[in-house]
A and B are shown apart, each in its own frame.
Chain A
Amino acid sequence: MPSPSATRRTVGTVGRHAFLLGAVAIMILPVLWALAASFKTPGGIFDSNPLPSPATLDNYRVATRDFPVWRLLINTIVMAAGVTLLQLLIAVPAAYALVRFPPRAHRVLVALIVITLLVPPQSLIIPLFLTISHLGWRNTFPGLILPQLYGTGLAVILLRDHIRAVPSTVLGAAVLDGARPGEVLRLVLLPLLRPALGAVAILLFITAWNEYLWPSLAAPDIDHATIQPGLGAFLTQEGPEYGPLLAGSMLATLPIVAVYLLASRRVTDAFMHSGLR
Chain B
Amino acid sequence: MANPSLIAGERGADHAPPVARLRDRARPWLYLAPLIIALVVWVYGPLVFTGVLSFMSWNLTAPHPSWLGTANYSRLLHEPQFPHAARNTLVYAVAMLPFATVVPMALAIALWKRPGRVSTVYRTLLFLPVVLAPVATAITWQFLLDPLSGLVNVVAGWFGVGAHNWLGDPSSALYSVLLITSVKVVALNVLLFGAALANLERGLLEAAALDGATEWEITRHIVLPHLRRTVVLLGMLSLVVVWPWIFANVAVLTQGGPSGSTDNVYYRLFTYAFTFFDAGTASAAAVVITGALALVLGLGLLVAGWRRRAIA
Contacts and interface: CB of A to CB of B under 8 A. Distances in A.
B199 to A, nearest CB: 6
A152 interface: yes
B289 A46 contact: no
A190 interface: no
Given A123-B47, A169-B6, A253-B131, A30 B42 contact: no
B34 A93 contact: yes
Interface in B45-85: 45-47, 49-50, 53, 60
A70 to B, nearest CB: 16
A99 to B, nearest CB: 10
Interface string B219-242: 000000000011001000000100
Nearest to B186: A27
A147 interface: yes
Nearest to A252: B133
Given A28-B128, A212-B248, A228-B135, A127 B39 contact: no
Contacts of B243: 120, 122
B75 to A, nearest CB: 16
B148 to A, nearest CB: 9
A276 B186 CA distance: 17
A35 to B, nearest CB: 9
B216 to A, nearest CB: 9
Nearest to A147: B42
A1 interface: no
A57 to B, nearest CB: 18
Given A114-B310, A123-B289, A245 B273 contact: no
A24 B122 contact: yes
A97 B46 contact: no
A26 B195 CA distance: 22
Interface string A87-108: 0011101101110111100110
Q: Chain A: interface residue count, which band?
A: 35 or more
B266 A245 contact: no
B129 interface: yes
Contact of A123 (B141, B229, B247, B287): B287
B304 interface: no
Given A97-B28, A119-B290, A130-B279, A172 B6 contact: yes
A6 interface: no
B32 A122 contact: no
Q: Which of B38, B41, B107, B183 has the most CB of A within 10 A?
A: B38
Contact of B140 (A26, A169, A228, A246): A246
A163 B146 CA distance: 51
B191 interface: yes
Interface string A193-210: 000000000000010011
Contacts of A147: 42
B154 A48 contact: yes
A250 B38 CA distance: 34
Contacts of A48: 149-151, 154
16 contacts: A12-B215, A28-B128, A28-B129, A46-B149, A47-B149, A90-B38, A116-B43, A118-B240, A120-B240, A120-B266, A121-B244, A153-B43, A212-B248, A249-B132, A261-B124, A268-B198
Interface of B: 2-3, 6-7, 9-11, 24, 27-29, 31-32, 34-35, 38-39, 41-47, 49-50, 53, 60, 103, 106-107, 110-111, 113-114, 122-129, 131-137, 139-141, 143-144, 146, 149-151, 154, 183, 186-187, 191-192, 194-196, 198-199, 215, 229-230, 233, 240, 243-244, 247-248, 252, 266, 269-270, 273-274, 279, 282-283, 286-287, 289-290, 293-294, 297, 310-312
7 closest Cβ contacts across the A-B interface? A172-B6, A249-B136, A97-B31, A123-B286, A127-B46, A271-B195, A127-B49
